[in-house]
Amino acid sequence: MVGASAAGLSTAEALRRKGFPGRITVLGDELHPPYDRPPLSKQVLSGTWEPERAALRTEEHLSGLDLDLRLGEHATGLDPASRTVRTRSGRDVRADAVVIATGVRPRRLPEQDGLAGVHVLRTLDDALALRKDLLSGGRLVVVGEGVLGSEIAATARTLGLDVTLAGPLAAPMALQVGPLISGLLKELHEERGVRLRLGSGVAGLEHAAGRVTGVRLATGEVLPAEVVVVAIGAIPTTDWLAGSGLELDNGVVCDARCRAAEGVWAVGDVARWQHEGLGRRVRLENRTNVTEQAIAVAGAILGDPAAYTPIPYFWTDQFDAKLQMYGVLPAAAEVQVVEGDPAARRFVAVYREAGRVTGVLGWNMPKQARLRRAEITLGEPA
């Protein structure tokens, strides 16, 4: 396993659960024992959890898995033919099967490196550094109105900070949930005091004496800030695979069984596989996919011929809104509230294209949303 986060660890665990008795080596580039990422922008950032609570597994459970877990070990290359993983320490690993689980890294603004007060949020250390800056107060600008940026804005506002959310789209998560629901998210954020500067791209950062002082929008407006979080998406961590011969195109390109080459597999945020249900290549950056795909890859390694065709699912918590999203929620879909009432901030909506349900969204109605998941049909109409 190249990667010791949820994807690598869950694959190892699934292999053991399925009775694989052989040796499993897990390489992780961070020094922390494996931890979970969804709490980083929520409970860890807000301080409601001690960082230790984000640990993926207890030490006892980890040792029960009988893994050769090598933390602080960077993979630097892969030879798919001999299935040899090269590492920075020189302790190369040769295996019968290699699982690529190196995840993604945050996209950054060109000028942010080395500038104090500017953060990204991907790792535990990122979350703790951001929390420290948030606790010293001041004005926060979040660059990026996607899921992560919207969550960070909500968490920071709940901590009492002066928060501005900036991004090119019209409303928070417009790309992920379409105009109707993102309009409701916009209302929620405004009501809770998040200043929205949406609909204009970010041109750059203002700084003085090595410290950020603001965010410059494409309109020329400058949003003053003591702290800035850049949450403008992520890039699959595949640079170490350059020259390996694997097809790299917005992730590690895989077949329907998540196989990138003979004996080489990819799992989690880094994997772009052929989803036979959707009829196209898909790369998902969400937590549920990680565990489901890990189980599928462990099965495939052990000879299970089934294609991996999940119904995508993710959730987000912002203020008191808990949103659950199933399937595909295109901006052009027809959205209908089928249960509850948006005015009461408790409802289920279904997304339809050409008359078929492609997705379901629950707003503070998780159980009711899940029960409608069965209505979803993936793929093109027959």
Interface residue list for another protein (CB under 8 A): 10, 13-14, 17, 36, 38, 56-57, 287-288, 291-292, 295, 313, 315, 317, 322, 324, 362, 364-368, 370
Instruction: State the Cα–Cα distance between residues 238 and 249, nearest whole angstrom.
Output: 9
> Residue 290 in contact with residue 10, Cβ under 8 Å?
yes
The distance of closest approach from Cβ of residue 232 to another protein in the complex, given in angstroms and rounded to an integer, is: 24
Which CB atom, from 67 or from 202, has the smaller least distance to another protein? 67
Which CB atom, from 34 or from 149, has the smaller least distance to another protein? 34
Which CB atom, from 49 or from 79, has the smaller least distance to another protein? 49
Nearest CA-CA partner of 95 in 131, 68, 115: 68
The distance of closest approach from Cβ of residue 30 to another protein in the complex, given in angstroms and rounded to an integer, is: 18
Instruction: State the Cα–Cα distance between residues 164 and 157, nearest whole angstrom.
Output: 9
Question: What does the angle CA 266 – CA 267 – CA 270 come to, to the nearest 5 degrees?
Answer: 80
Which CB atom, from 162 or from 269, has the smaller least distance to another protein? 269
DSSP state, residue 35: B
Rama region for 345: left / alpha / beta (φ>0; ψ in -120 to 50; rest): left
Which CB atom, from 54 or from 253, has the smaller least distance to another protein? 54
Instruction: State the Cα–Cα distance between residues 327 and 269, nearest whole angstrom.
Output: 17
> Residue 128 in contact with residue 32, Cβ under 8 Å?
no
**Tokens 């694959």 found at:** 11
The distance of closest approach from Cβ of residue 287 to another protein in the complex, given in angstroms and rounded to an integer, is: 4
The distance of closest approach from Cβ of residue 314 to another protein in the complex, given in angstroms and rounded to an integer, is: 9
Which CB atom, from 88 or from 370, has the smaller least distance to another protein? 370
The distance of closest approach from Cβ of residue 17 to another protein in the complex, given in angstroms and rounded to an integer, is: 6
Which CB atom, from 20 or from 315, has the smaller least distance to another protein? 315
The distance of closest approach from Cβ of residue 310 to another protein in the complex, given in angstroms and rounded to an integer, is: 10
287-301 and 6-17 helices, crossing angle to 10°: 40
Instruction: State the Cα–Cα distance between residues 320 and 345, nearest whole angstrom.
Output: 9
Nearest CA-CA partner of 283 in 269, 293, 294, 298: 269
The distance of closest approach from Cβ of residue 367 to another protein in the complex, given in angstroms and rounded to an integer, is: 4
> Residue 34 in contact with residue 5, Cβ under 8 Å?
yes
Which CB atom, from 261 or from 365, has the smaller least distance to another protein? 365
Which CB atom, from 38 or from 167, has the smaller least distance to another protein? 38
Alpha-carbon dihedral 351, 177, 238, 261, rounded to 10 degrees: -10
Token representation of residue 213: 């002082």
Instruction: State the Cα–Cα distance between residues 83 and 93, nearest whole angstrom.
Output: 8
Q: Which residues contact 284 (CB under 8 A, 6 or more apart)?
A: 269, 312
The distance of closest approach from Cβ of residue 151 to another protein in the complex, given in angstroms and rounded to an integer, is: 13
Which CB atom, from 13 or from 133, has the smaller least distance to another protein? 13
Instruction: State the Cα–Cα distance between residues 276 and 284, nearest whole angstrom.
Output: 15
The distance of closest approach from Cβ of residue 166 to another protein in the complex, given in angstroms and rounded to an integer, is: 28
Q: How far is CA 96 from the centre of its chain?
A: 29
The distance of closest approach from Cβ of residue 270 to another protein in the complex, given in angstroms and rounded to an integer, is: 18
Residue 92: C-alpha distances to residues 5, 37, 85, 99 (Å) = 20, 28, 6, 15
